[in-house]
Amino acid sequence: MSRFIFITGGVVSSLGKGIASASLAAILQARGLSVNMIKLDPYINVDPGTMSPFQHGEVYVTEDGAETDLDLGHYERFADIRCSQSSNYTTGRIYENVIARERRGDYLGATVQVIPHITDEIKNSVLNSTNGADIVLVEIGGTVGDIESLPFLEAIRQLGFEMGHDNVLYIHLTLIPYLPTAGEIKTKPTQHSVKELRSIGIQPDILLCRADRPIPVEERKKIALFTNVTVEAVIPFVDVDHIYKIPRELHEQGLDEIVTKRFGLDAPPVDLSDWDEVVSAMQTPEHEVNIGFVGKYVDHSDAYKSLNESLDHAGIHTKTRVNIIKIDSDFIETDGIECLENLDAILVPGGFGSRGIEGKIAAANYARIHQIPYLGICLGMQVAVIEYARNVLGLSKAHSTEFNPKTPDPVIALISEWLNYDGSVEKRDENVDLGGTMRLGAQVCKLVPGTQTRKAYGTEEINERHRHRYEFNNNYLQKLQDAGLVISGLSIDNELVEIVELSDHPWFIGCQFHPEFTSRPREGHPLFNSFINAAVEYNRAKKP
Ligand code: GLN
Question: From residue 433, how far is each of 43, 49, 67, 350, 437 by CA, in Å?
Answer: 20, 12, 15, 21, 7
Pocket test for ligand 1, best of 58, 296, 357, 402 (most atoms within 8 A of CB): 402
Residue nearest (by alpha carbon) to ligand 1 atom 6: 468
Contact 163, 6 (CB under 8 A): no
Question: From residue 79, how far is each of 32, 38, 82, 232, 522 by CA, in Å?
Answer: 12, 12, 9, 25, 10
Q: Report how far ligand 1's centroid is from the alpha carbon of 377 (Å).
A: 9
53 lines ligand 1 (CB under 6 A): no
Pocket test for ligand 1, best of 381, 382, 385, 434 (most atoms within 8 A of CB): 382
Chain length of the chain? 544
Contact 438, 59 (CB under 8 A): no
Category of 352 on φ-ψ map: left (φ > 0), alpha (ψ -120 to 50) or beta? beta
Residue nearest (by alpha carbon) to ligand 1 atom 5: 379
Q: Report how far ligand 1's centroid is from the alpha carbon of 351 (Å).
A: 5
DSSP type of residue 487: E
59 lines ligand 1 (CB under 6 A): no
Nearest to residue 144, comparing CAs of 108, 181, 170?
A: 170
- Rounded Cα distance, 309 and 358, in Å: 27
Q: DSSP labels for 173-206? A: EEE--EETTTTEE--HHHHHHHHHHHHTT---SE
Q: What is the torsional sign of CA 164, 122, 208, 223?
A: negative
Q: Report how far ligand 1's centroid is from the alpha carbon of 465 (Å).
A: 13
467 lines ligand 1 (CB under 6 A): yes
User: How much is the pLDDT for 64?
Assistant: 94
User: How much is the pLDDT for 433?
Assistant: 45
pTM higher than 0.85: yes
Could you tell me how many helices (H) and strands (E) the chain has, helices first? 18, 25
Q: Report how far ligand 1's centroid is from the alpha carbon of 304 (Å).
A: 14
Q: Report how far ligand 1's centroid is from the alpha carbon of 525 (Å).
A: 22
User: How much is the pLDDT for 429?
Assistant: 57
- Rounded Cα distance, 299 and 51, in Å: 17
Catalytic residues: 378, 514, 516
- Rounded Cα distance, 231 and 410, in Å: 65
User: How much is the pLDDT for 434?
Assistant: 45
58 lines ligand 1 (CB under 6 A): no
Is 276 in a helix, a strand, or coil?
helix
Is 531 in a helix, a strand, or coil?
helix
Is 410 in a helix, a strand, or coil?
strand
- Rounded Cα distance, 369 and 348, in Å: 16
- Beta-carbon contacts of 450 under 8 Å, excluding residues fewer than 6 positions away, are none
510 lines ligand 1 (CB under 6 A): no
Q: Which domains does the chain have, with CATH numbers?
A: 3-264 (3.40.50.300), 278-413+471-488+497-542 (3.40.50.880)
H helical segments located in 458-525: 477-482
How confident is the prediction along the chain (544 residues), in pLDDT tens digits per residue? 899 999 999 988 888 999 999 999 999 999 999 999 999 999 998 888 888 777 778 999 999 999 999 999 999 999 989 999 999 999 999 999 999 999 999 999 899 999 999 999 999 999 999 999 999 999 999 999 999 999 999 999 999 999 999 999 999 999 999 999 999 999 999 999 999 999 999 999 999 999 999 999 999 999 999 999 999 999 999 999 999 999 999 999 999 999 999 999 999 999 999 999 999 999 999 999 999 999 887 778 788 999 999 999 999 999 999 999 999 998 888 888 889 899 999 999 999 988 899 999 999 999 999 999 999 999 999 999 999 999 999 999 999 999 999 999 999 998 766 555 566 666 665 554 444 478 999 999 999 999 999 999 999 999 999 999 999 999 999 999 999 999 999 999 899 999 999 999 999 999 999 999 999 999 999 999 999 999 999 999 987 7
65 lines ligand 1 (CB under 6 A): no
Contact 445, 462 (CB under 8 A): yes
**SS3 for 135-175, per residue?**
EEEEEECCCCCCHHHHHHHHHHHHHHHHHCCCCEEEEEEEE
Instruction: Please give the single-letter amino acid code of residue 275.
Output: W
Query: Which atom of ligand 1 lies closest to the CA of 377?
Result: 8
Q: Report how far ligand 1's centroid is from the alpha carbon of 471 (Å).
A: 9
- Residue burial 310-336, b: 16+ Cβ < 10 Å; e: rest: bbbbbbbbbebebebbbbbbbebbeee
351 lines ligand 1 (CB under 6 A): yes
- Residue burial 275-305, b: 16+ Cβ < 10 Å; e: rest: beebbebbeeeebebbbbbbbbbbebeebbb
Q: Report how far ligand 1's centroid is from the alpha carbon of 186 (Å).
A: 46
Supply φ then ψ for residue 140, to 5 degrees.
Answer: -105, 120
User: How much is the pLDDT for 422?
Assistant: 61
Query: Which atom of ligand 1 lies closest to the CA of 467?
Result: 9
Pocket test for ligand 1, best of 400, 412, 468 (most atoms within 8 A of CB): 468
Long-range pairs for 385-389: beta carbons < 8 A, 24 or more residues apart: 385/411, 385/412, 385/472, 385/480, 385/485, 385/500, 385/510, 386/361, 386/411, 386/412, 387/361, 388/480, 388/483, 388/485, 388/500, 389/476, 389/480
Q: DSSP labels for 252-271? A: HTTHHHHHHHHHT--PPPP-
470 lines ligand 1 (CB under 6 A): yes
379 lines ligand 1 (CB under 6 A): yes
Q: Which residues pair with 9 in a beta bridge?
A: 173
Contact 412, 471 (CB under 8 A): yes
220 lines ligand 1 (CB under 6 A): no
Q: Report how far ligand 1's centroid is from the alpha carbon of 439 (Å).
A: 10
Supply φ then ψ for residue 461, to 5 degrees.
Answer: -130, 145
Query: Which atom of ligand 1 lies closest to the CA of 514?
Result: 9
